[in-house]
Amino acid sequence: MSNVLVLAEVTPTGELSATVPSLLAAAAKLGTPVAVVATAPGVGSALTEQLGSLGAQKVYLAETDAAGSVLSGVAADALTSAVEALQPSAVLLAGSIDGREAAARLAVRTNGGLVHDAVDVRADGDKVVATHSVFGGAYTVESTVEGGLAIVTVRHGAVEGTADAATPEVVNADVSVDASKYAAIDSFNNVKAETTRPELLGASKVVSGGRGLGSKEAFDLVEKLADSLGAAVGASRAAVDAGYVPQSYQVGQTGVSVSPQLYIALGISGAIQHRAGMQTAKTIVAINKDGDAPIFEIADFGIVGDIFTIVPQLVEAIEARAK
């Protein structure tokens, strides 16, 4: 089977990115999964066992001091060298900021073809076929790369399953990075607070709040309902813009796309750009005081009413049932 490279991103604190497991699972559908790791010396070698347990049969390890100080260049250089050394049939990367940048540079360097935001991949003969969910799930598109190396960015949380664990062979690569070609990382800041809530991406239940909450303090209501359901918390762009929650909570066209079992929209009108990020949810519940709000067009259960009255009652009812 041909090699399929995965860019295994490593966080500034030296852990494997949450995107790695599903990338390796996707790679296993196409060939022999090889993890390409670009990190500071000592960091990557500590991760090989974990990469093996996630399915990497080989780890192509580029350890360099430049990893924490050169922006996206180290990953691009490591991948370029891995492509030369291992002649893969495809390269899979996360749709993250770093993943996209490495994909972009690699595509230019290898004269390869890039398909992005795949929600699934499969092999068809020697072709790599990627599935995409376009315009908020309104269309399903399949695409492939012709005439060059297939470079695919994969939507986080979309590809399910796991690859069989392996004991990876480690290849130490000598990658020397010319820092003058890239931007510099000056510092890493404000690491996100730990939370016991599920991550928005991949959560099976999501409760989102919109401008209808009216204030940062009132957004508590969304969190209370989320906690009673064990759900992740999301928001509309208007709620993010108003400063109720950080940008990472944004669901929609320019935020994250979620496909949970249950999506509850509180005080969200249901603008088309918001719907683009949640309309593939299995069950949608909406509470809005405006009976004409477009969110009701796609809600399985809609309540026309005031969130400040209904949500506390709902939390109580859910807690009563849990007992």
Partner 1 sequence: MRIIALIKQVPDTGGERRLDLTTGLLDRDASDKIIDEINERALEVALAYKDANKGTEVVVMTMGPEDATGTIRKALSMGADSGIHIADASLVGSDSAWSAEVLAAALQREQFDLVVAGNESTDGRGGVVPIMIAERLGLPAIGSLDSVELSDGSVRGERATESGSMTVSSALPAVISVTERAAEPRFPNFKGIMTAKKKPIGVLSLSELGLSEASGGRSVVLSTQERPARTAGKKIVDDGSAAAQLADFLAAERLI
Interactions with ligand FAD, residue window 187-246 (CB under 6 A): 210-212, 236-239
Q: Under rule CB under 6 A, which residues in 244-283 are in contact with ligand FAD?
A: 250-255, 267-269, 271, 273-274, 277
Least distance CB 281 / partner 1 (angstroms)? 9
Of 41 and 312, the one with the shorter C-beta distance to partner 1 is 312
Residue number with CB closer to ligand FAD (149 or 207): 207
Asked if 299 and 320 touch (Cβ cutoff 8 Å), the reply is no
Instruction: Record the tokens describing residue 266, joined without a space.
Output: 């509180």
Among 27, 74, 86, 293, binds ligand FAD (CB under 6 A): 293
The Cα 206–Cα 180 span in angstroms is 44
Structure tokens at 51: 């990469």
Specify the residue, 182 or 249, whose C-beta has the smaller distance to ligand FAD: 249
Binding track over 60-79 against ligand FAD, x by CB under 6 A: --------------------
When CB distances are held under 5 to 8 angstroms depending on the partner's kind, the choice from ligand FAD, partner 1, none that residue 274 binds is ligand FAD
Phi-psi region of 101 (alpha: psi -120 to 50; beta: other; left: phi over 0): alpha
Q: Which does 238 bind (CB under 5 to 8 A by kind): partner 1, ligand FAD, none?
A: ligand FAD
- Closer to partner 1 by CB, 165 or 197: give it: 197
Give the chain's end-to-end CA distance (angstroms, integer): 53
Q: Judge whether 154 and 118 are in contact, CB under 8 Å.
A: yes
The residues near 61 (Cβ < 8 Å, ≥ 6 apart) are: 37, 39, 44, 45, 48, 170, 171, 172, 173
Minimum distance from residue 49 beta carbon to partner 1 (Å): 21
At position 154, the amino acid (one-letter code) is V
CA distance 245 to 223: 11
State both tokens at 89: 């049939």
Interface with ligand FAD by CB under 6 A: which residues? 210-212, 236-239, 250-255, 267-269, 271, 273-274, 277, 287-290, 293, 306-308
